[in-house]
């Protein structure tokens, strides 16, 4: 059984700068689309019983300014 997933599902938001997501997104003139992250999570959780979600900066990261 092949469970390969496309890269844009495994990593739905890619930012080049290793900074807090809001800072990196601002530098790159991008927004963080939470709906895109949720769709990717839902797709993965439909296939796998465990899905590990990594976040940069945890709850103290000021991401709300760039979330769409």
Domain limits of the chain? 7-58
Total-model pTM: 0.73
Q: What angle is formed at CA 51 by the lines to CA 49 and CA 54, rounded to 5 degrees?
A: 170
pLDDT at 18: 87
Q: Read off the DSSP letter of residue 36.
A: H
The confidence band for 61, taking pLDDT boundaries of 50, 70 and 90, is low
Q: What are 10-58's pLDDT values in tens digits?
A: 999 999 998 888 889 999 999 989 899 999 999 999 999 999 887 655 5
Nearest-angstrom CA–CA distance, 5 and 2: 9
pLDDT at 68: 56
Nearest-angstrom CA–CA distance, 5 and 51: 13
Dihedral angle at the C-alpha atoms of 8, 19, 55, 28, nearest 10 degrees? -30
């Amino acid at each position: 059984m092949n469970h390969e997933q496309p890269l844009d599902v495994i990593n739905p938001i890619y930012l080049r700068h290793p900074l807090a997501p809001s800072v990196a997104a601002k530098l790159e003139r991008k927004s963080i689309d939470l709906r895109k992250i949720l769709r990717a999570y839902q797709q993965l959780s439909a296939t796998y019983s465990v899905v590990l979600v990594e976040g940069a900066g945890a709850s103290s990261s000021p991401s709300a300014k760039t979330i769409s």
